[in-house]
Amino acid sequence: MKIYLIGFMGAGKTTVGLELARRLGIPFFDLDELIVSSEGMPIREIFAEKGEPHFRRREMDLLRSTQHLEHGVIATGGGTFTFEENIQFVLAHGLSVYIQAPISVLMRRIGEKAAERPMFRDEASLRELFQYRLRYYKMADITLDIREEESVAEITERMIMQLPKELFGALSRRPGHNG
């Protein structure tokens, strides 16, 4: 079973994804990291030197390569689940969980790492982008609302409680797994 984490920049897809994978005992993949290692340069440089369309093509290719995984938690980038083909792919190949954080939290977190994020121009355009993307994020199978003061462990715990029970059956039927 594959779980795809969806959400805007700063939602915590990577940190929560790592913890979720650890708790479920399945591998973790971060789409942004896969792009960075396959291109050999940071995201900001990929955007600057090769352009956003190139980044989006790599993002789509690497997302598609996850279809061969049997089990995994995959943290997507903030833009991944806003393109029709990617949305259809994720809906067909796994369970999608939208991590919905208050916009004030997102803005603060994005601002802290603004230099790394090519999509960051100013707060007003970021808010606009968020509003536009919301329609796509809401297509995820599950929406998890997170609160500012919640820890990663608490968020992960609540996420696990919302996962369909059949999923745990699929995981425990893995060869060599006794649970």
Largest CA distance in the chain: 51
Kind of pairing, strands 142-145 and 72-75?
A: unpaired
- Should residue 50 be labelled a site residue for ligand S3P when binding is judged by CB under 6 A? no
Token pair for residue 136? Answer: 């796509």
Residue of 118, 130, 142, 152 interacting with ligand S3P (CB under 6 A) = 118
Count of residues that interact with ligand S3P, criterion CB under 6 A? 10
Q: Which stretch binds ligand S3P (CB under 6 A): 61-69, 92-100, 113-121, 171-179?
A: 113-121
Q: Is residue 117 a contact residue for ligand S3P (CB under 6 A)?
A: yes
**Whole-number Å distance between alpha carbons of 135 and 129:** 11
Judged by beta carbon, residue 1 or residue 11, the one nearer ligand S3P is: 11
CB neighbour list of residue 32: distance below 8 Å, 6 or more residues apart:
14, 43, 75, 77
Residues engaged in binding ligand S3P (CB under 6 A): 9, 13, 32, 43, 77-79, 117-119
